């Protein structure tokens, strides 16, 4: 998955107030070709410099974000304005952390932004720093991408003459849970990149004890455009509960995998069509490995918004969509991913350590046709027993995947129990399972 496309062809970003329907591509409107990044001079032709905190009061900047209705794009969909306000209300000098870890194997959108549009993310970070009164920004990115490291180096070099907050690039270990905000803060404070028990949350006590704003890279990129074009412009697309556009990483059984930018609330079927999925679509994993399978029937009608997905027990998460190719086995893929998620536990909480391993083995047994009725009941019981009992939500994501698989692939479960064969076995794994890093520091 290297090429990236938008639903609308990238073109010059139209500033607000010029009439006509808003175009879908906003963040990616100026996306340069693969292997290059948008230089500061080009970026500044459309995006003005972030506000000088000495000229614009914090309250006004936060109000701008609140009016936009922006929600976090790292997974939690938490209102960005409320998060900024919570940090400011601590009344102490804060730190801003850009979360570009993107430990989700099916997601590439933060890496895409950081590698090719770094100034969008850095503008957003500078805006957030001005809004909360932070002088320091820590940009956390994966160790795995030389492209991201290079682009940030060059981008920071270009910005040197502009002033703004001090920015440092940090490279936490590439673990699935390392991007969880308490884990990230733990690592930045010199510990292992493992979650800690909250409270205190990072906004109360984070990096070096300071109130800390941890914000996903895409969220900050939106923030940069809200600062440039205003909250009303931002709300021109998207839904009432989730305004703006969203970056989706689409992979699996599609002919055009890559990162797409669409308005929040867009029908999933339209995204699948653009990505060249089979019609009618097969099951789709929405929200990454801690997300939920959506059945083909639901995939044909559901819209990609918080409001539409919540009743299904799903969420957009980090925007990763994986289409199950025809001929692949959803149970097998789920068993593999659950096994991988179990291996990504921080190893701290009993219910996660023991529960995820058991759940992964249980789904493997379903797939192999070794599971009796009482084993299925046990899996369902575990799905509720283990929930909400970890220091972080890593186990809860795995359970969401489990519950959705038991429901969407219920017929496959029966089929495997009767015939003890699987059509998917011959095929390669659809969902990538990166090797587990051994590093926690």
What is the binding site for another protein (CB under 8 A)?
196-197, 348-352, 354-355, 358, 382, 385-386, 389-391
Q: Which is nearer to another protein, 351 or 432 (CB)?
A: 351
Least Å from the CB of residue 246 to another protein: 32
Residue with Cβ nearer another protein (360 or 391):
391
To another protein, the closest distance from the beta carbon of 403 in angstroms equals 17
Q: Which residues contact 280 (CB under 8 A, 6 or more apart)?
A: 296, 300
252: its two tokens: 């699996």
Nearer residue to another protein within complex by CB, 59 or 350: 350
CB of 290 to another protein, least distance (A): 17
Q: Given the complex with another protein, which of 264 and 360 has the nearer CB atom?
A: 360
Least spacing, CB of residue 364 vs another protein, in Å: 17
Counting beta carbons within 10 angstroms of the beta carbon of residue 388, is it exposed (0 to 12), middle (13 to 18) or buried (19 or more)? exposed
Cβ closest to another protein, residue 234 vs residue 382? 382
Toward another protein, which CB reaches closer, 108 or 194?
A: 194
CB 84 within 8 A of CB 65: yes
**What is the helix (H) or strand (E) element at residue 286, kind and residue range?**
strand 284-286
Q: What's the CA angle centered on 31, arms 28 and 37, to 5 degrees? A: 135
What is the distance in angstroms between the CA of the first residue and the CA of the last residue of the chain? 28
- Tell me the closest approach of the beta carbon of residue 351 to another protein, in angstroms: 6
Distance in Å, CB of 87 to another protein, minimum: 24
Three-state DSSP class for 420? coil
**Joined tokens for residue 396:** 């809860």
DSSP one-letter string for 88-125: HTT-S--EEEEEE----TT--HHHHHHHH-HHHHHHHH
| 3-state class (DSSP) for residue 71 | strand
């Amino acid at each position: 998955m290297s090429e990236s496309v938008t639903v609308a062809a990238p073109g010059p970003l139209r500033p607000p107030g010029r009439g006509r329907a808003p175009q879908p591509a906003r963040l990616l409107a100026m996306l340069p070709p693969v292997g290059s990044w948008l230089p500061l001079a080009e970026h500044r032709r459309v995006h003005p410099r972030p506000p000088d905190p000495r000229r614009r009061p914090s309250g006004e900047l936060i109000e701008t974000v609140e009016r936009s209705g922006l929600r976090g794009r790292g997974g939690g969909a938490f209102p960005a304005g409320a998060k900024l306000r919570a940090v400011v209300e601590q009344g102490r000098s804060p730190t801003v952390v850009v979360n570009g870890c993107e430990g989700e194997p099916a997601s590439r959108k933060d890496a895409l932004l950081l590698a090719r549009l770094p100034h969008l993310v850095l503008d957003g970070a500078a805006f957030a720093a001005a809004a909360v009164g932070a002088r320091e920004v820590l940009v956390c990115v994966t160790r795995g991408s030389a492209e991201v490291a290079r682009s940030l180096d060059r981008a920071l070099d270009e910005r040197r003459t502009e002033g703004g907050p001090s920015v440092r690039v940090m490279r936490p270990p590439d673990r699935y849970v390392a991007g969880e905000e308490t884990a990230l803060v733990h690592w930045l404070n010199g510990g292992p990149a493992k979650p800690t028990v909250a409270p205190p949350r990072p906004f109360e006590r984070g990096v070096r004890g300071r109130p800390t704003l941890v914000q996903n890279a895409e969220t900050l990129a939106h923030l940069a455009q809200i600062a440039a074009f205003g909250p009303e412009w931002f709300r021109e697309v998207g839904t009432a509960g989730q305004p703006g556009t969203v970056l989706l990483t689409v992979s699996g059984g599609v002919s055009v995998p890559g990162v797409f930018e669409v308005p929040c609330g867009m029908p999933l079927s339209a995204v699948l069509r653009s990505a060249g999925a089979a019609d009618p679509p097969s099951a789709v994993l929405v929200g990454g490995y801690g997300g939920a399978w959506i059945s083909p029937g639901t995939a044909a009608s559901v819209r990609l918004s918080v409001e539409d997905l919540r009743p299904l027990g799903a969420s957009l998460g980090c925007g990763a969509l994986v289409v199950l190719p025809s001929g692949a086995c959803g149970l097998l893929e789920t068993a593999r991913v659950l096994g991988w998620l179990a291996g990504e536990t921080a190893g701290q909480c009993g219910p996660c350590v023991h529960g995820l391993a058991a759940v992964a083995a249980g789904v493997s047994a379903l797939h192999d046709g070794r599971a009796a009725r009482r084993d299925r009941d046990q899996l369902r019981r575990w799905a509720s027993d283990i929930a909400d009992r970890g220091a972080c939500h890593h186990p809860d994501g795995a359970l969401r995947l489990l519950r959705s698989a038991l429901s969407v692939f219920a017929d496959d479960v029966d089929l495997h129990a009767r015939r003890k064969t699987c059509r998917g076995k011959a095929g390669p794994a659809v969902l990538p399972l990166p090797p587990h890093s051994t590093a926690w520091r």
